[in-house]
A and B are shown apart, each in its own frame.
Chain A
């Protein structure tokens, strides 16, 4: 089954404790992306990747890191999480940038 998976689905952590949210897709998509969803702000793109080893900043990259060492995986790293990073995070993938994106189920992160 074609899908985008994210782990964990829910995470409560404390300020400053490094964490990684994993994202994996099995569709051989080239384009992958991370979004955060906040009330009233819709989805905002954090980082995206056009292919392996090619990543670039979206609209809200501060406080986040990503890597794309393999085509299928695109982890989101918070080196020192802060409470303003409490949000719902979605990973997405597509064949290319303008193509239909397939979204993961979301990760609800709370930073205390």
Chain B
């Protein structure tokens, strides 16, 4: 069965610190997709990244980077030199490509607060 665990409920750091948000997933499929979404205080859900199970290359986009490790079933998200605008709830999600059930499973989210 699919499962996504974001064990960190809340994280608070001071601006300019680096912070890593953990995401651990469970799936029986060999082909699947992982996502990160951001939900700022305004409430909308903003797509950040999609990664398929065959691409274990780490991704960097500005201050954001993602570390995908199939060996530990993790897809962690790091913000370097955090800024107050990074304060948001971040969700990790999993979609199995060939499962007969076309569900998409989200983690419970990590609330990140960046203090000035």
| Number of chain B residues close to chain A: CB under 8 A | 26
The reply to whether B109 and A42 form a contact with Cβ atoms under 8 Å apart is yes
Interface flags for B28-60 (1: CB within 8 Å of A; 0: not) read: 000011010100000111010010100000000
A44 and B102 form a contact (CB under 8 A):
no
A45: which of B9, B105, B108 is its contact (CB, 8 Å)?
B105
Tell me the nearest residue of chain B to A44, going by C-beta: B106
Which one of B6, B32, B52, B102 lies within 8 Å of A48 (CB-CB)?
B102
> Secondary structure of the A side of the interface?
strand
Q: How far is the CB of B36 from chain A (nearest CB, A)?
A: 11
Q: CA of A50 to CA of B100 in the docked complex: distance in angstroms?
A: 11
Interface residues of B (CB under 8 A from A): 6, 9, 32-33, 35, 37, 43-45, 47, 50, 52, 91, 93, 95-97, 101-109
Number of A interface residues in the complex (CB < 8 A): 26
- Nearest-neighbour CB distance to chain B for A9, whole angstroms, equals 10
Cβ contact within 8 Å between B43 and A56? no
A56 to B52, CA, bound (A): 24
Which residues of B are found within 8 Å of A40, using beta-carbon distances? 9, 108
Q: Which residues of A contact B (CB under 8 A)?
A: 31, 33, 35, 40-45, 48, 50, 56, 58-59, 88, 90, 92, 97-103, 105-106
